[in-house]
Chain A
Amino acid sequence: MRKVNDVILRTVVKGVVLIILTLGVYLFFSGHNAPGGGFIGGLVLGSAIVLLYITYDIETIQRKMPFDFKKVAALGVLLATGTAIGSLYFDVPFLSQTDGYFNIPFLGEKHLTTVTIFEAGVALTVIGTLVTIILSISEDD
């Protein structure tokens, strides 16, 4: 196969991926009160990873990120269902949530919720599923 000269793509992607990842994290945390959340955040984060896969080849990325993305998805589901079933321990209805304001050093008073943990599970599931789908499609040519 002829080597394609993609130096511009590679250079641009290095910067762009950072921006996409930042946007993804921002969307993830802006969740529960503003547009955003685990699903969209996960999609954006996943798309950054897919962009890396497209720009560099699969082997290179897998060396740097040695995750089995099927297991990432499974971990996400486990996290999400885990927070849901955690309600049982506190004797409140299934899927109950709670929140509170905490004073964290350097960051000031922050609003922390258990929804964020659930959303993290959703985000991991989305990332895992997205990347697994893209990798499975790319395998058969």
Chain B
Amino acid sequence: MNNIIVLPLIIPIMTAVILVFLRNNIILQRIISLITMVFVTAISILLLLNVEADGIMKIDFGGWLPPFGILFVADSFSLLLVITANIVAILCLIYSFSTIGFRHENMFFYPFVLLLIAGVNGSFLTGDIFNLFVCFEVMLLASYVLIALGGEKVQLRESIKYVLINVVTSWIFLVALAYLYGTLKTLNMAHIAERVAEVGQDPLITTVAILFLIVFSIKAGLLLFFWLPGSYIVPPTAVQALFAALLTKVGVYALIRTFTLMFPLNQEVTHTLIGIMAGITIVLGCMGAMSGKDVYTIATYNVIIGVGFILIGLAAGTETALSGAIYYLIHDMLAKGLLFLLVGTMVYLTGETIVKRMSGLIQNYPLFGWIFFIVLLTLTGMPPFSGFVGKILIGQGAIEAGSYVLLTIGFASSIIVLYSLLRIFLASFFGETTVSEEDKKPIPKGVMVSFILFTIAIIYLGVGAESLSIYVQDAARTLINPSIYIDAILGEGI
């Protein structure tokens, strides 16, 4: 029995509920949420090893066989992302222990973080597209609370926008699901893939596919990212990092899953469209990152550039490009999480958000400064850090697919990323310090622990890329040959 697959979803939910009863015991809340996340991560790693040994695993809820019941599917792609998401969540939790403050902790902060993780894990693991919608909603509801928690004026303004945009998007998602069910009479992803392969991807199905493209693009911040820069900077730093690392990536995951498994047949339309959108996203993201004057703007536009870059891999669509996209997705979750934590800490230490008003941070906090430098190199794609492998593979894939324009845009964006972050580094970290040794705020120990663990993860992902490569290759092989996935779910005979 493969019940273990459901644990990454159900354990955070149950723990979140138990924490509601422990509202006043904050230390216990911290310990329990940390233990839960570590446990879930361990389970996910175990699952990945199992999948590597025995192939794709699935669990039919309540014993209802596909395509009638809903099910969870564990393949290498989703498990790699589940593991990364949980690691990011652990590190963000460690960061939040010493920074989030009593007001948040008393107002169910940890339960909502756990619910967010449950939604993210569920979105990665589900094998039913309606269930994907439900898991998206679980994740979004938790994010609504986390973005508004704190009740500052700017938070309320941005959270209204955020909620409205996401509610409308969810509605479009539901409409798209209705169209899909109307045309194909099924919601099981593998079954959809099979039926699309049987009847061919006619214009009607392609239209439905494009509707899904719009929905997931809004969630992922692909081209339709107008809501993102405003709303990602209002919650507390730990929440920002969680959002930047996880929420858009779930949209990216959904895009990759949808257009490799379910609608892969009409690539001239869908993949070209994704390619164009990715290209424009990167260009606009670069403009934002270059023009930004405060650290938050620069960091959020870097998220957008990252999304565009990952989707070059999907647009190119070769096996190399997809394994590059997976590497880069994992890297981006870690690096963007750390970037937001660093930026948030800079603002906490100096009380300023404008780059030019900060100076000489590296003299007061040398380790902090050098960690920022490592993130800078990572995001640019310097070896031996984690961005390198992904960038090379996506580039290779783009050359194989002959999409030289995207290749140029993608690699040019690396220079812009370098420029935008180097500007922060030169202006805020170098130069004369304005704070004397006595006045400087200390960085809490928990914060430094989280930074160092993040940095270790990034270096491991770069240096130890080889050790992950069997899993990534397996994931990419499943993505490029949807029949492996379909056979695992529906069986050979059907």
Bound pair (A, B): yes
Nearest-neighbor residue (CB-CB) of B19 within chain A: A74
Q: Chain A contacts of B60 at CB under 8 A? A: 93
Residues A78 and B17 in contact, CB atoms below 8 Å apart: yes
Q: Looking at the assembled complex, report how far the CB atom of B106 sits from the nearest CB atom of chain A, in whole angstroms.
A: 13
Cβ–Cβ contact B10 & A85, under 8 A: yes
Complex contacts, B182 vs chain A, CB 8 Å: none
- Chain A residues, Cβ within 8 Å of B63: 92-93, 96
The reply on B481 being an interface residue by CB < 8 A is no
User: Is the Cβ of A71 less than 8 Å from the Cβ of B21?
Assistant: yes
B 131-153 to A, binary, CB cutoff 8 A, 1 in contact else 0: 00000000000000000000000
Instruction: Return the contact of B6 from the options A70, A78, A82, A94 (Cβ within 8 A).
Output: A94
Q: Which residues of B contact A93 (CB under 8 A)?
A: 1, 3, 59-63
Question: Contact residue range for chain A?
Answer: 10 to 19
Report chain A residues within 8 Å CB of B18.
Answer: 78
In the complex, B14 has a CB within 8 A of chain A: yes
A77-B13 in contact (CB<8A): yes
Is there an interface contact between B21 and A94, defined as CB atoms closer than 8 Å? no
Q: Are B17 and A77 in contact (CB under 8 A)?
A: yes
CB of B371 within 8 Å of the partner chain: no
* Residues of chain B from 45 to 72 with CB closer than 8 A to chain A in the complex: 59-63
User: Judging by beta carbons under 8 Å apart, are A95 and B62 in contact?
Assistant: yes
Per a CB cutoff under 8 Å, which of B1, B10, B21 touches A74?
B21
- B10, B14, B20, B62: the one within 8 Å of A96 (CB): B62
Q: Given A74-B20, A74-B21, A93-B1, are A85 and B61 neighbors across the interface (CB < 8 Å)?
A: no
Kindly state the separation between the CA atoms of A95 and B20 in the bound complex, as whole angstroms.
23
Known: A70-B20, A71-B20. A94 touches B61 (CB 8 A): yes
Main secondary structure on A side of the interface with B: helix
Size bin of chain B's contact surface: 10 to 19
Q: B71 — nearest CB in chain A belongs to which residue? A: A93
Q: Interface SS of chain B: helix, strand, loop or mixed?
A: helix
Is A30 interfacial (CB 8 A cutoff)?
no
| Cβ-defined partner of A94 (8 Å) among B3, B13, B20 | B3
Q: How far is the CA of A47 from the CA of B14 in the complex (A)?
A: 27
The answer to whether A92 and B14 touch across the interface, beta carbons within 8 angstroms, is no
- With a cutoff of 8 Å between Cβ atoms, the chain A residues found around residue B10 in the complex are 81, 84-85, 94
Answer whether residue A88 sits at the interface, using C-beta atoms and an 8 A cutoff. Answer: yes
Q: Is A55 in contact with chain B by the CB < 8 A criterion? A: no
A93-B3, A94-B3, A97-B62 known; A85+B14 contact, CB < 8 A: yes
Report Cα–Cα, A131/B443, bound state, in Å.
Answer: 43
Known: A71-B21, A74-B20. A94 touches B62 (CB 8 A): yes
* B20, closest chain A residue (CB): A74
Cβ distance B144 to chain A, nearest Cβ, rounded Å: 14
- Return A78 CB to nearest CB of chain B, in Å: 5
From A71, A81, A91, A95, give the contact of B61 (CB < 8 A). A95
Q: How far is the CB of A118 from chain B (nearest CB, A)?
A: 11
B-contacting residues, A69-103, CB 8 Å: 70-71, 74, 77-78, 81-82, 84-85, 87-88, 91-97
What chain B residues lie within 8 Å of A71 (beta carbons)?
20-21
A82→B17 CA distance, assembly (Å): 11
User: Which residues of the partner chain B approach A81 to less than 8 Å between Cβ atoms?
Assistant: 10, 13-14, 17
Residues of A within 8 A of B59 (CB): 93-94
Asked if B17 and A87 sit within 8 Å, CB to CB, the answer is no
Interface string of B3-46 (1 = CB under 8 A from A): 10010001001100110110000000000000000000000000
Shortest A122–chain B CB gap in Å is 14
Contacts of A96 in B (CB 8 A): 62-63
Please report the C-alpha to C-alpha distance between residue A91 and residue B3 in the assembled complex, in whole angstroms: 8
Instruction: Give chain B residues whose Cβ lies under 8 Å from the Cβ of A88.
Output: 3
A92 vs B2: C-alpha distance when bound (angstroms): 9
With both chains docked as a complex, state the minimum distance between the C-beta of B43 and any C-beta of chain A, in angstroms.
Answer: 12
Q: Which residues of B contact A95 (CB under 8 A)?
A: 61-62
Q: Determine the distance from Cα of A101 to Cα of B206 in the docked complex, in whole angstroms.
A: 50
- Which of B1, B3, B18, B21: most chain A Cβ within 10 A? B3
CB distance from A132 to the nearest CB of B (A): 12
Closest residue of A by beta carbon distance from B14: A81
With a CB–CB cut-off of 8 A, which chain A residues contact B21?
Answer: 71, 74
CA distance A77 to B62 in the complex (A): 18
Interface centre among B10, B14, B17, B59 (most CB of A within 10 A): B17
Shortest C-beta distance, B1 to chain A (Å), equals 5
Q: Which residues on A sit within 8 Å (CB–CB) of B14? A: 78, 81-82, 85
Name the residue of chain B whose CB is nearest to the CB of A93. B63
Complex-state Cα separation, A27 to B210, whole angstroms:
42
Q: Which 8 A-B pairs have the closest CB atoms?
A: A74-B20, A95-B61, A95-B62, A94-B6, A93-B63, A77-B17, A74-B17, A78-B17
Can you give 18 A-B contacts (C-beta < 8 A)?
A71-B21, A74-B21, A77-B13, A78-B17, A78-B18, A81-B14, A84-B10, A85-B10, A91-B1, A92-B63, A93-B1, A93-B3, A93-B59, A93-B61, A93-B62, A93-B63, A94-B10, A94-B61
Known pairs A74-B17, A93-B59, A93-B63; list 5 more (Cβ under 8 Å). A77-B17, A81-B17, A91-B1, A91-B3, A95-B61
